[in-house]
A = this chain, B = another copy of it.
């Protein structure tokens, strides 16, 4: 059953709608905000003057004239923009041995970034919290300025967002690593946790909501295989946060040996070690090395395939087939608008595409395929951290700054 609604909720939602409009469409005059949000001019004035008083948005008076030199009559529009100095957000990406950190202001501009390292092999489940806090503290103190108003974490592997832990990840030898509680306690601000691949989906959605909206999936093909999922314009994480863990969904019962010890996982055909194992002609039951395959090695593999080397071509062919079956299963289950392939191995998508589409054809009745768009986009290392920043900012817009009287709270806590 849905919840009751009250007056406060209206204002909260409309404040958040205005903030989101400014974030999505950039600096705008009040009249534009009215058109975008469907709010009346009177209401826009009321809300924006509150937001200005609270220091969340500000007028911008630079070269607005230049744009309007075309002899426009009437009172000139005065543009409003998010006030970068209103708050800062801290985005953190956890992977093997490294903690990547980025600090951004409320306007989305990067204030600074850095990488800290730790020892994935020896860290303990309750010891990592302190390491993380120390790294973040060092980073923030080094940059100076106000502390972050929210922290968003993205981790490889399986996260449990209700528990605030990383359940199982290549980044840790141990399981159930506490991350949210220590950070939230140390900084006294909200802390979000998500799977790294979901943050790719978030990044795409925030940059182009029309294209990457509704229900769509991101397949991340790299060291492993992950999936990020948007359902009805919202990040979908399932009951515990472990949804979209397609890498260890089974492709062929009893098939290739996977790093996780199971047989036939999608990752055992598409992960970097799997491609390499196949290309080298090793038995598919050969246990994968525990060490990550270097990026260089993968690039060489791609080059070899482009040069027409048989083993490499076979590997990408098998990977493409697995990918196509994965497409089919995702489509049959979720009926998405779009599937995006990215990750380090996405550069090799052209080598896999034919096999993937053939497998899709083989695996799925045409009527079910519907009008799903499948596209590969070149991999950018920064996409995950950018998505994490975007998620943190969105959380500020909708959860924190939507609260009426945020300004007075701020003053109160400053005393």
Interface residues of A, Cβ cutoff 8 Å to B: 1-7, 9-10, 13-14, 16-17, 20-21, 24, 37-39, 158, 167-168, 175, 209, 214-215, 227, 231-232, 236-246, 248-254, 260-264, 321, 325, 328-330, 332-337, 359, 362-365, 367-368, 370-371, 398
Inter-chain contact A359/B238, CB cutoff 8 Å: no
CA distance A239 to B264 in the complex (A): 30
Q: Evaluate whether A13 and B20 lie within 8 angstroms (CB atoms) in the complex, with A175-B367, A336-B239, A337-B239 already known.
A: no
Tell which of A3, A243, A254 has the most Cβ of chain B within 10 Å: A243
Q: Evaluate whether A334 and B243 lie within 8 angstroms (CB atoms) in the complex, with A231-B236, A328-B250 already known.
A: yes
Cβ of A327 to closest chain B Cβ, rounded Å: 10
A-B contact pairs, 19 of them (CB 8 A): A1-B17, A1-B21, A1-B209, A2-B398, A4-B38, A167-B367, A215-B239, A238-B334, A238-B335, A238-B336, A240-B335, A243-B334, A248-B365, A249-B328, A249-B329, A249-B333, A250-B364, A254-B362, A264-B363
Q: Evaluate whether A17 and B3 lie within 8 angstroms (CB atoms) in the complex, with A249-B329, A250-B325 already known.
A: yes
Inter-chain contact A248/B2, CB cutoff 8 Å: no
Tell which of A16, A167, A241, A370 has the most Cβ of chain B within 10 Å: A370
Chain B's closest residue to A39 (CB) is B4
Q: Evaluate whether A4 and B37 lie within 8 angstroms (CB atoms) in the complex, with A238-B215, A329-B329, A334-B333 already known.
A: yes
Tell which of A5, A7, A17, A168 has the most Cβ of chain B within 10 Å: A5
CA distance A237 to B364 in the complex (A): 18
Cβ of A294 to closest chain B Cβ, rounded Å: 25
Q: Evaluate whether A362 and B9 lie within 8 angstroms (CB atoms) in the complex, with A244-B333, A253-B252, A332-B245 already known.
A: no
Cβ of A303 to closest chain B Cβ, rounded Å: 29
CA distance A242 to B10 in the complex (A): 35
**Residue in contact with A237 in the complex, picked from B6, B236, B335, CB distance below 8 Å:** B335
Inter-chain contact B262/A370, CB cutoff 8 Å: no
Residues of B within 8 A of A2 (CB): 13, 16-17, 20, 398
Residues of B within 8 A of A336 (CB): 238-239
Residues of B within 8 A of A16 (CB): 2
Cβ of A225 to closest chain B Cβ, rounded Å: 11
Residues of B within 8 A of A17 (CB): 1-4
Pairs A-B, 4 closest by C-beta atoms: A238-B335, A249-B332, A243-B335, A168-B367
A-B contact sample (7 more), CB < 8 A, given A1-B24, A5-B9, A240-B370: A6-B10, A10-B10, A243-B335, A244-B335, A249-B329, A250-B325, A253-B325
Cβ of A391 to closest chain B Cβ, rounded Å: 15
Residues of B within 8 A of A262 (CB): 362-365
**Residue in contact with A370 in the complex, picked from B10, B242, B260, B264, CB distance below 8 Å:** B242
Cβ of A368 to closest chain B Cβ, rounded Å: 5
Cβ of A232 to closest chain B Cβ, rounded Å: 8
CA distance A21 to B1 in the complex (A): 8
Cβ of A46 to closest chain B Cβ, rounded Å: 13
Residues of B within 8 A of A250 (CB): 325, 328-329, 363-364
Residues of B within 8 A of A249 (CB): 328-329, 332-333, 363-364
CA distance A336 to B243 in the complex (A): 8
Chain B's closest residue to A247 (CB) is B332
CA distance A243 to B330 in the complex (A): 9
Residues of B within 8 A of A243 (CB): 215, 333-335
Residues of B within 8 A of A20 (CB): 1-2
CA distance A398 to B14 in the complex (A): 22
CA distance A243 to B336 in the complex (A): 8
Q: Evaluate whether A5 and B1 lie within 8 angstroms (CB atoms) in the complex, with A231-B231, A238-B215, A363-B262 already known.
A: no
Residues of B within 8 A of A398 (CB): 2
Cβ of A330 to closest chain B Cβ, rounded Å: 7
Tell which of A1, A232, A252, A371 has the most Cβ of chain B within 10 Å: A1
